[in-house]
Structure 1
Amino acid sequence: MQQIDEVCPLKVIVVGAGLGGLSAAIALRRQGHCVHILESSSFKSELGAGLAVPPNTVRSLRGLGCNIDNLKPVDNLCFTAMAHDGSPGMMNNMTDYGQAYGDPWVMAHRVDLHNELMRVALEPEKTGPPAQLRLDSQVASCNVDACTVSLVDGTIYSADLIVGADGIRSTIRSYVLDAEIDIPPTGIAGYRWLTPAEALEPYPELDWIIKNPPLGARLITAPVRRNDSIEQSGPAPISEKADKRTIIIYACRNGTMLNVLGVHDDPRNQNEVGWNVPVTQESLLDFFKDYHPRFKRLLELADNVHLWQMRVVPRLETWINKRVCLLGDSAHASLPTLGQGFGMGLEDAVALATLLPMGTKVSDIENRLVAYESLRKGRAEYVAMESFEQQNIPEKRGLYLRSSMMRDEIMGYDVKAEAEKVFKELMTSTDKVTYRPHVDCLW
C-alpha cells in the first residue's frame, strides 16, 4: 500500500531584506511556505542608485508575479561607447533583445525595484502566505546544527531552513563555512551619483545622453594608455598601467533620473578607507580632467557624489551546511560589469524555491540544498569571474558586448526550467502527499 504523508509548509528564515532576500521570500511563499525575514536596518531612509535589469532578470521577476511597470523602467536599446576625447566608439544594438530573449533589457532605480519586491513579498493577496518582515533585527550568530539564529538582543528563532541573503558582509556565511572569509580589496572603485534629467535641459551639448536615438547606456572610455608611471632618476618610466577609467550613464525612473558611475583603479589603500564615502565634486572633476569638455558639463552637474569600493566575494568552498544556505551577494557578490549582480541572486531564489515545493519534508532539505548548490554555484561564479576580468584585464574589456555567444549563454538562460529539470530527476519516490496548511503562519 502506498504511504500517504501529511505535510506542512516549511518554516523558513531569510536573513536580509535586500533585493536577494525579498526575492527568496517571494519565491518560497509562492510555494506555500511560511517565511520570516530578519532585517538589521529600519528602512527609514531611501538609498540606492541605478540598476541593470537584463532579459533573464526580467523573465524571473515576471515569474515571481512582479509588475515590471512598477520599476519605472527605461528601455536599454543600445550600448554606445565614446572615447574620452569625444570621438565615437563601438555601438551594440539591443533593439532585438525582446525578440531574441523573450524580454527586453531595462534600467531601473534600485529603490523602485526594492519597493516592488517588498510589495509582492508582503501583500496578503499574492500567492501563498505573505512573508513576515521584522526590521531592526540584527542576526548575531547561527547554530547550523539546531537550524537557529540568534539576534543581538538575545532572541532566538528556529526554522526548517535558513537562507543567508545578508549581502557581501554576510554574518551567515562564516557559519556555513565554519570559517571567517576575508573580502579582499580589488583596487577598483566607482564615483556614483544621480542627476535629474531636467538638469540637462539647458545644455544642448548633453542631448546625446537622453535625446539622441537609439537610447540606452552610454560608456565613455579612457585613453588607450594613461601615464601612471613610476619614474626613476631619468625621464623614462619603468612601468605603465592601462587606464581603466570608464563612465557609464543611463536613465531610470521613467527617464526622469540619470544614474552615473565612474569606474576606475582606486589609488587609495582600500583597507584604510570606508567602502562607500562621500567625495567632493572638485575631486571628481580633477580625476577626469583630461576628458573632453562635452563630458565635463555632465560632471559639473554632479551632486551628492560617493566613492564606492567594488569588492567581490572570492570563490567559496561551499554555499550550504545542513539546512542553512547562502544566496545572492553573500555567496557571489560581483562587479557590475555585466549587469548581472542582482540577476544572479534572483536566479538563486527561483532555483531554491523550485527545488523546495509544497510537500518537501524537513528530512529532504539537505539533499535539496546539495542540488541547489550544484545547479547554481558554477553559473554564478562564472558570471562573477567574467565581471571582474572584463573590468580588470584590458584584452577582455567589452567582451560581453562583442560576444553574442556569451550573451546568449547568460541572458538566454531560463533558471526556472533548469531547476524543474533537476527537481524531476530528484523525484524517484511515488509516495503521495497531502497538504495541511498553516492557518496563520505564526511561529
Structure 2
Amino acid sequence: MTQDGDVQHPIVIAGAGIGGLAAALALAQQGHRIVLMDRARQLSEVGAGLQLSPNACSALDRLGVLDALKPVVCAPDSLRIWSGRSGRQLGRVQLGSFIEQRHGYPFWVVHRADLQRILLDKVRETPGITLRLGAEVLDLAPSPYEHLVCIYQDENETGNLHCRALIGADGVWSKTRKIVPRHQNAHFSGQVAYRATIPIDKVAPRWTRDSGLWLHSNSHLVHYPVRGDRELNVVALAEEAWQDETWSAKADKEALLHRFKDWPSDVRNLLRLPETWLKWALCSVDALGPWTHGHVALMGDAAHAMLPYMAQGAAMAIEDAIVLARHLPGDVKNIPAALRAFERSRKPRVSHIQSIAFRNARVFHYTGVPALARDTVLRLSKPARMTARFDGIYSWTADQ
C-alpha cells in the first residue's frame, strides 16, 4: 500500500447514508482502513420506504447483512397496477417466489431507517472502520506523497487527515461533487413526492396484500407494507412547482388532498389517514457527468441521483459500493486509474437505468390517448411477462 513513512492511510468516505455505509463495508472487506464521515451528529431516517430488488439483495448478501434484514422486510407477491381514474386494476407484475426463483434473490420492500440501522450496526462491528459523526469534508490540500490531505471540520475544530482516496457518497446535494471539475449540479424535475407511513391496523386489507401502483394524469401513487408488515408506506407523486426554501419540508395535507381531488374515494380516504406528510423535491444528477478526479470519486446519488420511477436509486448506490471495492483491492497501486475504471464500468448501466426512470416519469403521467394506449397494453400483458421486462436490471449480481 502507498504509505507516508510507516503510516497506512485510510480511505475517507463522505456521507454515511446507505451508499456510504455499503461502501465502507465493501472496502473494509478488501482490507482498507476506512474513515466514514457524516455532518449529521446522529444518523436518522430520511424518507420512508424503499424497494430492494434482486440485484440489491445480491449486493447486500455480499456485505453480510441480508439475513439481518429478514425480520424487518416484506416480500409482496405482486405489484398491482391500478387506474387512478376508474379505480380498476390494469395489470400485475409477478414478484414473490416467482422472482426469487428467476433471479436467485428476493424482491423485498423495507423502511429506509431499518436498512440504514442494519448497515450501521454492521459498520460499527467491523474492524478497520472509524465512524465520525458531526464531521464534514471541506476540501483537499496538496501532498508531496501519493495521497491526499483531506480538510474536514467537526464540532471542535478544523483538521487535516491524510488519506489514500476520498469517496463522495454525500447524496444529491453533494459537496464532494464540487471537487470534481465539470461537475453537474442537481436538477429539479418539476415533480414532488409526498411521503407518509400508516400503522397497518388502521388500513383495510386491500392496501396491504401487495404493492400497489396507481396511475393518473400528471400524478401517481405507490404503496407497500414495511417494518415486517407493521406499517404501510405511501408515496404520492405529482407534477408541481417547489416553493419551499429547503428541498424537503412538512406538507399541507389539505393541499395534498386537493391535488388528488379527482381520484377514487377509497384512495382519498387512505390519504386522509396519516397525521403528518413530508414532501421532497425530486431532483436528479446526470449520470453522464464526471464522477472522478485523481484520487476522488463520486458514487450513489452524488454521481447519478435518479427519479424514483424505477425504484433503483438505493440499489444503484449499493451496487456502486460492490463495484468500487472490486476496483480497489487492498494492494491497489494506481488509485486514480482504479477509480476511472470504476466510473467506466458503472456508467453504462446506471445511465441506462436513469433513462428508464425518466421515461417512466412520462409514461406514468400520460393523459388522453397515450394514457388509454398505455392502459390497454397493461391489461393485455401477462404478469410473468411484465416481470421479465426487468430482467436486465434484476439479473445483476455481486459476482458480475
- Output the TM-score relative to the length of structure 2: 0.87
Which residue of structure 1 lines up, in the alignment, with residue 336 of structure 2?
Answer: 366
Which residue of structure 1 lines up, in the alignment, with residue 107 of structure 2?
Answer: 105
List aligned pairs for 1:14-413, cutoff 5 A: 14-43=13-42, 45-70=44-69, 72-84=72-84, 85-95=86-96, 96-124=98-126, 129-143=127-141, 147-152=148-153, 153-177=157-181, 179=182, 181-200=184-203, 206-210=204-208, 215-222=209-216, 243-266=217-240, 268=241, 270=242, 273-361=245-333, 364-393=334-363, 394=366, 406-413=389-396
Change (3 A) 1:274 1:352: same
Contact preservation (8 Å) 2:168, 2:299: yes
Change (3 A) 1:97 1:10: farther
SS of structure 1 residue aligned to 2:302: helix
| Cα distance in 1, alignment partners of residues 69 and 387 from structure 2 | 30
Contact preservation (8 Å) 1:75, 1:105: yes
Deviation at 1:192?
0.9
Deviation at 1:216?
2.3
Contact preservation (8 Å) 1:51, 1:339: yes
Change (3 A) 1:123 1:406: same
Contact preservation (8 Å) 1:142, 1:172: no
| Cα distance in 2, alignment partners of residues 45 and 16 from structure 1 | 13
Counterpart code for 1:157 = L
Q: CA offsets, 1:224-277, max 9 Å, x none?
A: xxxxxxxxxxxxxxxxxxx221110000000001110111111x2x37643111
Change (3 A) 1:143 1:382: farther
Deviation at 1:164?
0.7
Change (3 A) 1:87 1:289: same
Contact preservation (8 Å) 1:185, 1:271: no
Which moved further from structure 2: 381-390 or 329-338?
381-390
Counterpart code for 2:238 = H
Contact preservation (8 Å) 1:9, 1:358: no
Deviation at 1:144?
7.1
Unaligned runs of 5+ in 2: 1-5
Change (3 A) 1:404 1:299: closer
Deviation at 1:174?
1.3
Count, aligned residues? 373
Counterpart code for 2:308 = P
Contact preservation (8 Å) 2:79, 2:93: yes
Deviation at 1:333?
0.5
| Cα distance in 1, alignment partners of residues 270 and 339 from structure 2 | 48
| Cα distance in 2, alignment partners of residues 417 and 67 from structure 1 | 16
SS of structure 2 residue aligned to 1:387: helix
Higher percent of residues as strand: 2
| Cα distance in 2, alignment partners of residues 374 and 216 from structure 1 | 38
Deviation at 1:335?
1.1
SS of structure 1 residue aligned to 2:51: strand
Deviation at 1:9?
6.3
Counterpart code for 1:410 = I
Deviation at 1:91?
1.1
Change (3 A) 1:49 1:272: closer
Q: CA offsets, 1:164-216, max 9 Å, x none?
A: 11111111111122x4533222111111111111122xxxxx32111xxxx32
| Cα distance in 2, alignment partners of residues 306 and 121 from structure 1 | 29
Contact preservation (8 Å) 2:93, 2:386: no
Contact preservation (8 Å) 1:9, 1:359: no
Deviation at 1:44?
5.9
Counterpart code for 1:216 = D
Change (3 A) 1:375 1:81: same
Deviation at 1:30?
0.8
Which moved further from structure 2: 10-19 or 396-405?
396-405
Deviation at 1:403?
5.5
Contact preservation (8 Å) 1:9, 1:33: no
| Cα distance in 1, alignment partners of residues 298 and 389 from structure 2 | 26
Counterpart code for 1:326 = L
Q: CA offsets, 1:75-98, max 9 Å, x none?
A: 022110121232221111113000
Contact preservation (8 Å) 2:288, 2:347: no
Contact preservation (8 Å) 1:193, 1:259: yes
Q: CA offsets, 1:56-88, max 9 Å, x none?
A: 000110111113443600002211012123222
- Output the TM-score relative to the length of structure 1: 0.79
Contact preservation (8 Å) 1:10, 1:360: no
Which residue of structure 1 lines up, in the alignment, with residue 3 of structure 2?
Answer: none
Change (3 A) 1:330 1:44: closer
Which residue of structure 1 lines up, in the alignment, with residue 399 of structure 2?
Answer: 417
Contact preservation (8 Å) 2:47, 2:112: yes
| Cα distance in 1, alignment partners of residues 150 and 7 from structure 2 | 22
SS of structure 1 residue aligned to 2:174: coil
Q: CA offsets, 1:42-61, max 9 Å, x none?
A: 12644430010110000110
| Cα distance in 2, alignment partners of residues 33 and 66 from structure 1 | 19
Contact preservation (8 Å) 1:327, 1:348: yes
Change (3 A) 1:406 1:141: farther
Counterpart code for 2:207 = I
